[in-house]
Each structure stands twice: as structure tokens, then as C-alpha cells.
Amino acid sequence: MEDAHISSDLVRVILTEDQINQRLAEIAAQIDEEYRDKDVLLVGVLTGAVMVMADLSRAMTIHCSMDWMAISSYGSGTQSSGVVRILKDLNTDISGRHVLVVEDIIDTGLTLSYLVSNLRSREPASVEIMTMFRKPEAAENAVDVKWVGFDLPNEFVVGYGLDYAGKYRNLTSVATLAPHVYS
């Protein structure tokens, strides 16, 4: 869905589809170099990372395996609940594997901090993180992220996997959601 179709729901477009695609290609090339000749497992964090994971894996030139986890610290609101829950665990044994966690956005860092700790307890060869978006101003937990697509302002944004109450994930750009939508 393009932002022109829902312009009354948006305040402003922060990143265009072209900007996102260009940055994703740059990151994919760096990941290709990092994991050349290694058995890498991409672990997508559902549901937001679906867009990122699909586009990232297609932009990569090396072989990779994929698996998914669903972890949540959000309800349908705009603020983190502070409670982390595993809703879906991996189907893959990661011991001895190089794991690349693929995220849509790092906000407070609470969910990702918990996830990385959980994954490291399973004795992988390595755990690295790639996130398409990060909100540095919202960070509460320090998380070591190897690849960041874009830093975003601490505003409520939607698009390219980012949602409000399950909607707007299929927006091809990233935009600030108008307050009248969630007030």
C-alpha cells in the first residue's frame, strides 16, 4: 500500500520505499561478506520483521536458513507493556550455528535484550542483530546491534512492517501516524 492511499492517517513520510530498498541492499552486501563460508540462520522476529526478512534474504547472495520467533512486549497500544512473552519459539536447534536476528524496529530494547539472552543460552556459535529501524531516544536497555538501517525519531511510526493494532504493516514507506488514528 502506498502512503497516498491513506494520507489522512499520516502526518509525514519519514522514509520512502526507494530509501528503504537502497539501505537494505547495502546491509545485505555487508552480511554476505560477514557470513561468507558460514552456516547462517536468519531468525525473524514476528510479525513486524516479515517484510525486512523477506527483502533482506532476497537481497543476499549467500545461502541462509530461516526460522521465526514471536516475542511480544506490546499489546495493541502505542507503549511497551514491559512484560516479554515468547509466543512462538524456534523450530531449529541453534547450537553451534551463526544466528542473525532480524528485527523491524528496536524501541526500548527490552524485548530484544530478552531475546538475545535467551538465544545465547542455547550455545550458538554467534548471535548478531540486524534491525531495519531503531529509536535511539527511546532506548532503555543497551543492545549491541551490528547492522542498523535507519535511526528514527521517537514518534509513533508505521509502515514496512511497523503497525498500529495490526494495520499499516503493508505500507511501503515509513510515516508518522496521525494522533487522531490512535487517540
CB atoms within 10 A of CB 78: 13
Which residues are catalytic, by number? 107
**In a 3-state reduction of DSSP, which class is residue 30?**
helix
Output 29-34 pairs: Cβ under 8 A, ≥24 positions apart. Answer: 29/59, 30/147, 31/56, 31/60, 31/62, 31/100, 31/130, 31/147, 32/60, 32/61, 32/62, 34/128, 34/146
